[in-house]
Structure 1
Amino acid sequence: MKISVVTAVMNGGKALSRAVESLKAQTHPDIEHVVQDGGSTDRTLDYLADHGHPNMALTSTPDGGIYDAINKGIARATGGVIGLLHADDMLASPDVLAQVAQAMEDPAIDGVYGDLEYVSRDAPDRVIRYWRAGEYAPYRLKQGWMPPHPTLYLRREVFADAGMYDTSYRISGDYDGMLRWLSSGQIRLKYIPQVMVRMQMGGASNRSFAQMIRKSREDYRAIRRHKVGGMGTLIAKNLSKLQQFGKRA
């Protein structure tokens, strides 16, 4: 089973090496690394040329933003299963993609997801938040639940049948996509109860108060668009993050 891992990057800097090395360390034998570069002007392209994954498909061209770049990468992917690895994230252990492949051997499953750790940007070994996703049930969408997006791997047919990311969103295109795939798309997910991805704090959604407000507006738009709730769902979604700062069970 070939797994395509899409990385959309623009001036990835030092963080990119952790993502690439975690991918190269995977025990699953059939991996394609689809890199969609937005026209980096730092040493991103030099690093990838010298240290990229052995099975890397790299394109560098201007894009219309993160979701446009991801869509371009997905369109280029040749694997039967597709996931994302952001430039400042890393796969948590060498068996992550092997676990994905094993779960996806079940033809009744459309995708898999797992748990996520948020780590310090300056000290990647220091865990700040732990997101235990838990099992999916349709009623949980109204409670603001969503699978941790960086851990989500889907069959390529999901994108063909239910669409890719809506580029009219600047921050919440992942949330909109997941609500679409789970509600109208009716995809079937399997939960892998282990930390799959370690994500650095300080992403686009929480860099400033203005970004946080914009994200909430886009989240609410997605909630209403897919008819999974209203303002209560948005509030519950934001409040659910508080428990991620507690001690890990």
Structure 2
Amino acid sequence: MCFEVIFVDYHSFDETLSIIYSHPSNYQKIVLSIDEPGIYNAINFGISHACAEWILILGSDDSLYCAHTVSSIVQYLMVLDYRTSLIYGTVFLMQDRKRLNQFFSPNDHFTTSLCQQSIVYRKQAIIDTGWFDTQYKSTADYVLNLKIIEHFSFSSLEFVDLIIANYNQSGFSSRYTDKMYLKSSMFIRLKSLGLLVKTSLLIRSFFSRNSVLAKILGFQLTSAYKLSCLYLEIIVKRIFLTKPTPNLTNLQSKPLIK
């Protein structure tokens, strides 16, 4: 298994590049410059230049948990089912000094995002689900994870009991409210997980601040109508249909070495 470390820089005027070049690496080091601002523009640009099958994404203020993290991840990847779209572990919160994440059930995914730094994506899964959507400024990772669940299946996500990264809690996403995501969050979550979550959670979501009643009260009648139709579709399917069949065809082209 080959490795590469890709850095994506957007017109930095500090010592970012000199710091990168000053550190020796046992892996191939690639430094790219991007002309468009935005976290997810940079991430997509880096992924598009990656040759590896698996992708781990870290911010400049995050780090791998320890010197053996990569080798530990590889041990998991070498024995994975070829239908796995991503694996996720835990992260160490640098400010709170504790671990975050655990195995996520469909209910957990419906209410909370995995920490992106805990995820190792199959590159093809990112491509097949439309990359990181750059209209979302701080939540495109959550949207991508939900699309992966919808496109492939919930069972294509694999939890590993491993601390993957040291995570800085004071990064951009902690300071920025993604208004575009708030407008569409319920649609996205229902489409990917509406058939999988508990009925009680589905009912509570109907009365939440971003759901049907809130949109009616806010005179967003078109959105309220579309969301109501989606709820109705989910209810009918839950009553009359079996569980959704996983869509795994795009991940079957290259089985992992056992």
Q: Are 1:199 and 2:162 matched, yes or no?
A: no
How far does the alpha carbon of each residue in 1:41-60 deviate from its partner, in whole angstroms, 9 at most, with x for none? Answer: 11111111222535111112
Question: Do the aligned partners of 2:114 and 2:142 also contact (CA within 8 Å) in 1?
Answer: no
SS in 2 for 1:171: coil
SS in 2 for 1:183: helix
Aligned to 2:126: 159
Aligned to 1:36: 8
Q: How does 1:1-249 map to 2 (within 5 A)?
A: 1-2=1-2, 31-51=3-23, 53-54=25-26, 55-105=28-78, 106=80, 107-120=82-95, 127=97, 129-131=98-100, 133-142=101-110, 144-186=111-153, 188-207=156-175, 211=176, 214-215=177-178, 218-219=181-182, 221-227=184-190, 228=193, 232=205
CA distance in 1: counterparts of 2:206 and 2:118, whole angstroms: 22
Task: Flag the structure with higher helix content.
Answer: 2
Question: Do the aligned partners of 2:34 and 2:42 also contact (CA within 8 Å) in 1?
Answer: no
Percent identity at matched positions?
Answer: 21
Mean Cα deviation higher: 175-184 or 217-226: 217-226
CA distance in 2: counterparts of 1:61 and 1:53, whole angstroms: 22
Question: Do the aligned partners of 1:111 and 1:152 also contact (CA within 8 Å) in 2?
Answer: yes
May I ask how many residue pairs the two structures share in their alignment? 195
Tell me the TM-score normalised to structure 1 length. 0.69
Q: Which amino acid aligns with 2:106?
A: P
CA distance in 1: counterparts of 2:51 and 2:173, whole angstroms: 30
CA distance in 1: counterparts of 2:206 and 2:57, whole angstroms: 26
Q: Which amino acid aligns with 2:181?
A: E
SS in 1 for 2:14: coil
Give 1 or 2 for the bigger CA radius of gyration: 2
CA distance in 2: counterparts of 1:87 and 1:102, whole angstroms: 26
CA distance in 2: counterparts of 1:138 and 1:145, whole angstroms: 10
Q: Which amino acid aligns with 1:147?
A: L
Stretches of structure 2 that go unaligned for 5 or more consecutive residues are 195-201, 209-258
How far does the alpha carbon of each residue in 1:153-181 deviate from its partner, in whole angstroms, 9 at most, with x for none? Answer: 11121022112100001111111111111
SS in 2 for 1:36: strand
Q: Which amino acid aligns with 2:173?
A: S
The structure-2 alpha-carbon separation of the partners of 1:233 and 1:65, relative to structure 1 and needing over 3 Å to count, comes to farther
The structure-2 alpha-carbon separation of the partners of 1:134 and 1:233, relative to structure 1 and needing over 3 Å to count, comes to farther
Task: Give the C-alpha shift of residue 72 in structure 1.
Answer: 0.3
Task: Flag the structure with higher strand content.
Answer: 1
CA distance in 1: counterparts of 2:206 and 2:9, whole angstroms: 35
Question: Do the aligned partners of 1:158 and 1:181 also contact (CA within 8 Å) in 2?
Answer: yes
Question: Do the aligned partners of 1:34 and 1:73 also contact (CA within 8 Å) in 2?
Answer: yes
CA distance in 2: counterparts of 1:234 and 1:112, whole angstroms: 33
Q: Which amino acid aligns with 1:196?
A: I
SS in 2 for 1:206: helix
Question: Do the aligned partners of 1:114 and 1:148 also contact (CA within 8 Å) in 2?
Answer: no
The structure-2 alpha-carbon separation of the partners of 1:217 and 1:95, relative to structure 1 and needing over 3 Å to count, comes to same
Stretches of structure 1 that go unaligned for 5 or more consecutive residues are 3-30, 121-125, 236-249
The structure-2 alpha-carbon separation of the partners of 1:161 and 1:51, relative to structure 1 and needing over 3 Å to count, comes to same
Question: Do the aligned partners of 1:68 and 1:167 also contact (CA within 8 Å) in 2?
Answer: yes
The structure-2 alpha-carbon separation of the partners of 1:85 and 1:61, relative to structure 1 and needing over 3 Å to count, comes to same
